């Protein structure tokens, strides 16, 4: 059995590790596969591809999503592309280089073995997706087209206009529907997981709420796979879909799955700035825009002239100035932090001074309007629709926003959490991106986990585990149902004076201010006490109308926000504990003389895995030491 | 700005619905239509009235969750725009807006502005895919796709499955949706082996749901937020007839 924090990384050379691991795994006899019940929660790139592939292998799969259809999962909103080490452009790419870039980009806080496997699988993902009919961009000769993307010096990104996530998700969704048609996958849309059931130390099922009837139900299984995405909505304003939430992973955490690196969050540099207090979410624009757009602010603070009236000599192209070799293509964390820095200096643009220009006028001069329209037309339209400004004529205004969470449930090399039988894939786990994710890597990870990792490792778990017969009348199921019902009652019975959204907005503000782009010990400490106070008020004063046995969107939100409160505190605790800066985690106390993140490898070269110890106890910190045999930790430099 | 909303309220699938009027005096022209509903809902909750249920998720016009009729037009007056990206600046101060759910027998109302669009999933399950087990694909560049075919395929693949086409069609036909998937896959070399069976099964599934027939009116194309062209219906009909003939 898995002892906590044994990452089960195969020994031997990294190039052979995954192959060796696959060979050593036990297999499930084809005739026995249909005897196993597998639950997959989430239907995005990770969950959808996993459910489809497991169904195809012959397992009995139940797949759950809270949306009305699996095709709505938030992977659909990814724009820019997916990386793969195909080296079709003959420009020096290789599996090793993608591995190297990802470990370095993650600021040496990811596990080498996982990242190497990810780079290896990237190649097969493109093959698989093309065969499925994903309409990637093509050259005139009919071969696949590539572009370079955020932080990479080779062209390894495959894309389908600005809708790559949509097309990859539709590929996975179609594969999933094919299994639904074949009868191997049963789909449960409009169904939300509200608890995990652990029996004799093994994950044996989940408790769900039917979002139409309100019915709370038990589902028994031999293994549970969570592909439920990230928790960026803890900040209220983020680029995540409104429904994206942490409830599934948080319930699993409270049932014993450790939470890895909760404070590692990614701020995306190219989002449309906030325009008013009513704002419900932030809109991201693909950072592929940085390939041709130049980022600048006025040289002098308080310069209120129109951008067209500011001559070249009064502009500061600060990324090109500070990072001459990467320029506007520095990784996301670096680009975001620099944007915040120039705005903090008072040089930000737009009504609230929280924005920088992303200017296409040079690219339009060089390439012509048509070329720019072909590359970015849909993004320009989207920008104009929201801001009422035409980016062909006026520079775009952008500002960083919460976009992705590198943290998530801790998993070993097999993608299994510290609860045997509970697997976690895609953004919901913590594994591959370290402290910062590179652009076009999230889609890659979701599909690698779902199509090419979980089908092997889950089989190995099933083949090497003895299962007691369990049904939904087991006391653990009954008590989980009771605790779900009690929580619902508490939310409905509070009958307070404030809406769920008003609390969520306030929580988000605390998190953005103190646990966002830059963090300090004092700020984090004050955030923790504010969060506790607000959470206490929440349970007393929240107002959720309607009942539990009907469609009740406020009730759904209320349950999710209750979990965000608890997760927010853990994020702050983790950020406070990590006395260094790395990737997206920037502690003001730890920076180099020129303001770059300063890691402390002596003390913090580990993945933090937090263990729930009860509501009235602080969580326990476990550490998985990270060793770097191949990519030697260095100060990241993009100069 | 001030707006008067008339919104369809219906408690559940079996209940009788009715239009209710709400006055909102504090709207901002930069808000999206869904943000306007958020603000209205906050006000309703504080007054002790149940908020208006509506579907939404990404709010970037790509997930296809949102959608309702505004003054009789699916997704409202702005071309190629879902309600989540429709800002209030496209309406006049003081205007009255009538918000109703998609109206189609195949899409029963679940509550207020929410409908059940599960027939779309069943249509895709009936062959809206290319059968390729994970791990069995050859190197991606061994399949060459002419750029123009890839582009036309992508045009059709851009469908977000929101259901506006059905809602706008006087016959409540799902032909634009079904044709888009048949075209997306049928335009690619990878899609050829199953092209006939796909067309037969998907069209038959569409007919088995409670959608009406296409009579080439074109309302679907006019409201489609992704600009899916009527051509996909021609292609569907062509593929279906050819496959049925061979059958």
Question: What DSSP assignment string belongs to B173-240?
Answer: B-HHHHHHHHHHHHTSGGGSTTHHHHHHHHHHHHHHTT-B---S--HHHHH-TT---THHHHHHHHHH
Q: Is the pLDDT of residue B18 over 50?
A: yes
Contact A132 B190 (CB under 8 A): yes
Mean per-residue pLDDT over chain A, rounded: 95
Sketch the domain layout of chain B as residue ranges. 3-111, 118-246
Does residue A20 form part of some domain? Answer: no
Taking domain B3-111, whether its CATH number is 3.10.20.30 is answered by: yes
Overall number of domains in chain A? 2
Domain boundary among A380, A401, A422: A401
Residues of A whose CB is below 8 A from B62:
76-77, 163, 165-166
Domain boundary among A376, A401, A426: A401
- A49, two tokens: 């591809």
CATH number at residue A339: 3.90.700.10
pLDDT of residue B185: 98
Task: Quick: pLDDT tens for A274-295.
Answer: 988 889 999 988 888 998 999 9
Would you place residue A2 in the very low, low, confident or very high pLDDT band (cuts 50, 70, 90)?
very low
DSSP designation for B23: E
Q: Is A22 noted as a catalytic residue in this protein? A: no
Residue in B140, B182, B198 to test binding to A, most A beta-carbons within 10 Å: B140
Residues of A whose CB is below 8 A from B32:
280
Section A241-257 average pLDDT:
98
CA distance A62 to A71: 16
CATH number at residue A486: 1.20.58.100
Q: How far is A133 from chain B (nearest CA, A)?
A: 6
Contact A385 B87 (CB under 8 A): yes
Would you place residue A10 in the very low, low, confident or very high pLDDT band (cuts 50, 70, 90)?
very high
Sorted by sequence, the CB contacts under 8 Å of residue A93 that are 6+ apart come out as A85, A86, A87, A154, A155, A156
Task: Quick: pLDDT tens for A68-96.
Answer: 999 999 999 998 899 999 999 999 999 99
Mean per-residue pLDDT over chain B, rounded: 97
C-beta separation of A130 from B143 below 8 A: yes
- Give the up-direction half-sphere exposure of residue A344: CA atoms within 13 A in the CB hemisphere: 9
For chain A, helix (H) and strand (E) counts, in that order, are 18, 19
Which H or E element spans position A565?
A: helix A553-577
| Lowest-confidence pick of A325-334, A442-451, A475-484, B74-83 | A325-334
Section B220-240 average pLDDT:
98
Section A349-377 average pLDDT:
93
Record: fold of B118-246: Fumarate Reductase Iron-sulfur Protein; Chain B, domain 2 (1.10.1060)
- A361, two tokens: 């006028």
Does residue A282 form part of some domain? Answer: yes
E strands, A232-389, in order: 259-260, 265-271, 294-298, 315-316, 356-359
Residue A569 lies in domain: 475-598
Task: Quick: pLDDT tens for B183-198.
Answer: 999 999 999 999 999 9
Task: Quick: pLDDT tens for A416-469.
Answer: 999 999 999 999 999 899 999 988 999 999 999 999 999 999 999 999 999 999
Task: Verify that A594 and A507 share a domain, yes or no.
Answer: yes
Does residue A581 form part of some domain? Answer: yes
Q: Is the pLDDT of residue A1 over 60?
A: no
Contact B87 A550 (CB under 8 A): no
Which H or E element spans position A365?
A: helix A361-367
Domain boundary among A349, A372, A401: A401
- A405, two tokens: 């969470």
Instruction: Map residue A275 onto helix, strand or coil.
Output: coil
- Give the up-direction half-sphere exposure of residue A168: CA atoms within 13 A in the CB hemisphere: 38
Residues of A whose CB is below 8 A from B134:
49, 52-53, 56, 128, 175, 451-452, 455
Task: Verify that A397 and A291 share a domain, yes or no.
Answer: yes
């Amino acid at each position: 059995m898995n002892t906590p924090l044994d990452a089960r990384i195969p020994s031997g050379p990294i190039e052979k590790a995954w192959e060796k691991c696959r060979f050593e795994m036990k297999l499930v006899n084809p005739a026995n596969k249909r005897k196993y019940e597998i639950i997959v929660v989430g239907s995005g790139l990770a969950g959808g591809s996993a459910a489809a592939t497991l169904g195809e292998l012959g397992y009995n799969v139940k797949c759950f999503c809270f949306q009305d259809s699996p095709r709505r999962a938030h992977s659909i909103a990814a724009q820019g592309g997916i990386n793969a080490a195909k080296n079709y452009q003959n420009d020096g790419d290789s599996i090793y280089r993608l591995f190297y870039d990802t470990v370095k980009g993650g600021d040496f806080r990811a596990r080498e073995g996982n990242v190497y496997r990810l780079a290896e699988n990237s190649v097969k993902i493109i093959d698989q997706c093309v065969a499925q009919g994903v309409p990637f961009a093509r050259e005139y000769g009919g071969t696949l087209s590539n572009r370079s993307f955020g932080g990479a010096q080779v062209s390894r990104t495959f894309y389908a206009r600005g809708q790559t996530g949509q097309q990859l998700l539709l590929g996975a969704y179609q594969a999933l529907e094919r299994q639904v048609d074949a009868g191997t996958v049963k789909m449960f849309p409009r169904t939300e997981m509200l608890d995990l059931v652990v029996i004799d130390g093994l994950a044996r099922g989940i408790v769900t709420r039917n979002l139409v009837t309100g019915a709370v139900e038990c589902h028994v299984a031999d293994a549970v796979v969570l592909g439920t995405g990230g928790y960026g909505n803890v900040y209220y304003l983020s680029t995540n879909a409104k429904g994206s939430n942490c409830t599934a992973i948080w319930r699993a955490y409270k049932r014993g799955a450790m939470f890895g690196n909760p404070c590692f969050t990614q701020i995306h540099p190219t989002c449309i700035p906030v325009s008013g207090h009513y704002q419900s979410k932030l809109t991201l624009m693909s950072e592929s825009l940085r390939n041709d757009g130049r980022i600048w602010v006025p040289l002098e603070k308080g310069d209120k002239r129109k951008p067209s009236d500011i001559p070249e000599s009064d502009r500061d192209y600060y990324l090109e100035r500070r990072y001459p070799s990467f320029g506007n293509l520095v990784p996301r964390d670096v680009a975001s932090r620099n944007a915040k820095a120039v705005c903090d200096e008072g040089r930000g643009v737009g009504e609230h001074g929280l924005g920088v220009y992303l200017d296409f006028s040079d690219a339009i001069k060089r390439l012509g309007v048509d070329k720019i329209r072909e590359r970015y037309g849909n993004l320009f339209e989207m920008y104009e629709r929201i801001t009422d400004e035409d980016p062909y004529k006026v520079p775009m205004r952008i500002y960083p926003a919460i976009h992705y969470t590198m943290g998530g449930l801790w998993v070993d090399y097999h993608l299994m959490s510290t609860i045997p039988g509970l697997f976690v894939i895609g953004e919901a786990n913590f594994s591959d991106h370290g402290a910062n994710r590179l652009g076009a890597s999230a889609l890659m990870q979701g599909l690698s986990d779902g199509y090419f990792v979980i089908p092997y490792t889950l089989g190995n778990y099933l083949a090497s585990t003895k299962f007691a017969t369990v049904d939904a009348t087991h006391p653990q199921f009954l008590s989980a149902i009771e605790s779900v019902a009690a929580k619902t009652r508490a939310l409905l019975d509070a009958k307070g004076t404030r809406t769920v959204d008003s609390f969520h907005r306030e929580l988000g503000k605390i998190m953005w201010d103190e646990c966002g782009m830059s963090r300090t010990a004092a700020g984090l400490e004050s955030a923790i006490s504010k969060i506790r106070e607000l959470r206490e008020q929440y349970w007393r004063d929240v107002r959720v109308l309607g009942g539990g046995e009907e469609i009740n969107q406020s009730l759904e939100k209320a349950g999710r926000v209750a979990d965000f409160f608890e997760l927010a505190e853990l994020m702050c605790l983790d950020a406070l504990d990590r006395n260094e800066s790395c990737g997206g985690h920037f502690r003001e106390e730890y920076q180099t003389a020129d303001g770059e993140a300063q890691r402390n490898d002596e003390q913090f070269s580990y993945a933090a895995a937090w263990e729930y110890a009860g509501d009235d106890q602080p969580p326990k910190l476990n550490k998985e030491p990270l060793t770097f045999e191949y990519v030697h930790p260095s100060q990241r430099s993009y100069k | 700005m001030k707006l008067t909303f008339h919104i369809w309220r219906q408690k559940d699938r079996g209940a009788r619905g009715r239009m209710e009027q709400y006055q909102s005096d504090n709207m901002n022209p930069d808000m999206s239509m869904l943000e306007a509903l958020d603000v209205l809902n906050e006000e309703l909750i504080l007054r002790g009235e149940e908020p208006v249920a509506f579907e939404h998720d990404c709010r970037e016009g790509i997930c296809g969750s949102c959608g309702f009729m505004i003054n009789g037009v699916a997704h409202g007056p702005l071309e190629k725009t879902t309600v989540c990206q429709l800002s209030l600046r496209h309406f006049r101060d003081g205007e009255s807006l009538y918000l109703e759910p998609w109206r189609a027998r195949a899409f029963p109302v679940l509550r207020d502005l929410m409908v059940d669009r599960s027939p779309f999933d069943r249509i895709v399950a009936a062959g809206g895919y290319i059968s390729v087990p994970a791990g069995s694909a050859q190197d991606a560049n061994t399949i060459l796709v002419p750029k123009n075919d890839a582009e036309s395929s992508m045009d059709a693949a851009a469908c977000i499955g929101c259901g506006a086409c059905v809602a706008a069609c006087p016959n409540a036909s799902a032909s634009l949706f079904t044709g888009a998937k048949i075209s997306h896959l049928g335009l690619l070399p990878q899609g050829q082996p199953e092209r006939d069976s796909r067309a037969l099964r998907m069209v038959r599934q569409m007919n088995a749901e409670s959608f009406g027939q296409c009579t080439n009116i074109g309302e679907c194309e006019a409201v489609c937020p992704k600009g899916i062209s009527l051509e996909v219906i021609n292609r569907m009909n062509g593929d279906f007839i050819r496959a049925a003939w061979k059958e």
